[in-house]
Amino acid sequence: MITAYLKRFLPICLLPLLLLCTSCHQEIDLSADYKDISFSYAMLDRNDSLHYFKIYKGFLTDENAYVQAGDWENIYYPIDSIEVRLEEYNAGHVLLRSQVLDTTTAVPKEEGWFANPKQLLYYSNWVLDANNSYRLVIRHRNTGEEVYAETPIVGRFSVRRPINSWNMNLETPYALQFYQAQNAAAYDILLTFAYIEVNNTTGAIEHKTFTKRLNSDVIRTPSATGEITYSSFSPSEFFNYLPQYIEENPNVTRYIDAIDGQPYKCFRLTIWAASADFMNYQEVSTPSSSIVDNRLEYTNFISDNENAYGLLASRTSTHTDLMMDNLAHNEDTLVLSPRLHHLHFGYYRNSPLFPLEKRR
């Protein structure tokens, strides 16, 4: 499906192409014949029950380009002008099934240059198989021309360690280990902390989280054993993150939350795995630190006339929920540490969410 990363990043980097359709030329001829250029973006995840595909068309204008990008008819093809198909192929590249995709406008779009709050998405409800590959085909009905991209599917994987609890007072690096995912080229490790804020006046409870990416660089470590080890994170660093993500507020008392109702399980360790095309796109599209502003436009879409841009790729995630290790006095550090005292954390046993049957 279209990820939050894509929704934030892609509209910004695509706008010059969508508005002008001539970004690779030194001069722009506004009197030139219109060239039909297709843009399509999708991230397939085998865990999703619905898979969305975003398809734009380029447009040429001598008016205010930002205003014109807000016009629905400028950026979307009329639904009867193109046919969008999803095709599934096995390892021998034999076609197993094909589906003409329907459209929906039920998923709202965030505000921005492009027409909103509605957006046009093509979708499929297929169950995806990591042993097969998937091709998105866009056929222009008036010319019969087709453009397409194909991607393998990142398969299921799991965390090997930690399993249940984590000593957040541990000051030495801890070896996070997880199994490699089929068809994955790179990984990110995210730690989410769940807590609540209780209003000291009204008693109102607000559930909150923050998420920290643990690896500074994408993990690409190959492994002959089928496992990947990341040993550059010291769990005690977590307590240094808290003041960066949580603001001081003397009007609330904070407590750890219970993920899925499990006492003291307030951490979720999530590992994302992405296919090679996604990583190639990200590396090419990342703004350069160079004083030269020329940038390549990465795409894995194929067309005879080089009139298609975009990305069809795959990613998926796995997670494990972790308990705060009270035997190692983790909660004492959270509540009593001088560097965290201004955040007003209390003991979970005093929280309004603490199970009644466990209270003494």
Which segments of 21-119 does DSSP mark as H helices, in order? 65-69, 72-75
- Domain spans, the chain: 4-153, 159-272+319-358
For residues 34 and 6, the model is more confident at 34
For residues 331 and 286, the model is more confident at 331
Residue 40 has pLDDT above 90, yes or no: yes
Reported as a single tens digit per residue, the pLDDT across 163-198 is 899 999 999 999 999 999 999 999 999 999 999 999
Residue 3 has pLDDT above 60, yes or no: no
What is the mean predicted confidence (pLDDT) over 221-250? 90
How far is it, in rounded angstroms, from Cα 355 to Cα 81? 59
Which segments of the chain does DSSP mark as H helices, in order? 4-20, 65-69, 72-75, 237-245, 276-285, 330-336
Reported as a single tens digit per residue, the pLDDT across 69-82 is 767 777 889 999 99
For residues 226 and 102, the model is more confident at 102
Residue 296 has pLDDT above 60, yes or no: no
| Integer CA distances (angstroms), 360 to 21, 289, 355, in order | 69, 59, 11
pLDDT band of residue 297 (cuts 50, 70, 90) is confident
How far is it, in rounded angstroms, from Cα 158 to Cα 317? 9
pLDDT band of residue 306 (cuts 50, 70, 90) is confident
pLDDT of residue 350: 94
- Under a CB-based contact definition with an 8 Å cutoff, are residues 355 and 313 in contact? no
Q: How does the average pLDDT of the chain come out, rounded?
A: 85
Residue 358 has pLDDT above 80, yes or no: no
Reported as a single tens digit per residue, the pLDDT across 278-294 is 988 888 877 665 555 55
Low-confidence winner among 13-22, 126-135, 224-233 (lowest mean pLDDT): 13-22
Residue 60 has pLDDT above 90, yes or no: no
Is residue 112 classed exposed, middle or buried when 0-12, 13-18 and 19+ CB atoms within 10 A define those classes?
middle
Phi, psi of 204, rounded to the nearest 5 degrees:
-65, 140
- Under a CB-based contact definition with an 8 Å cutoff, are residues 159 and 230 in contact? no
Residue 9 has pLDDT above 80, yes or no: no
pLDDT of residue 72: 76
pLDDT of residue 225: 80
Of all residues in the chain, the percent with pLDDT exceeding 70 is 82
| Helix, strand, coil content of the chain in percent (nearest 5) | 20, 35, 45
pLDDT band of residue 301 (cuts 50, 70, 90) is very high
- Cis previous bond, 117, omega within 30: yes
pLDDT band of residue 63 (cuts 50, 70, 90) is low
Q: Nearest Cα to 88, choosing from 153, 40, 140? A: 153
pLDDT of residue 31: 52
The domain over range 4-153 is classified in CATH as 2.60.40.10: yes
pLDDT band of residue 101 (cuts 50, 70, 90) is very high
Reported as a single tens digit per residue, the pLDDT across 115-129 is 677 899 999 999 999
pLDDT of residue 67: 65
How far is it, in rounded angstroms, from Cα 352 to Cα 50? 37
How far is it, in rounded angstroms, from Cα 26 to Cα 84? 33
What is the mean predicted confidence (pLDDT) over 242-250? 94
pLDDT band of residue 19 (cuts 50, 70, 90) is very low
Residue 130 has pLDDT above 60, yes or no: yes
How far is it, in rounded angstroms, from Cα 187 to Cα 13? 23
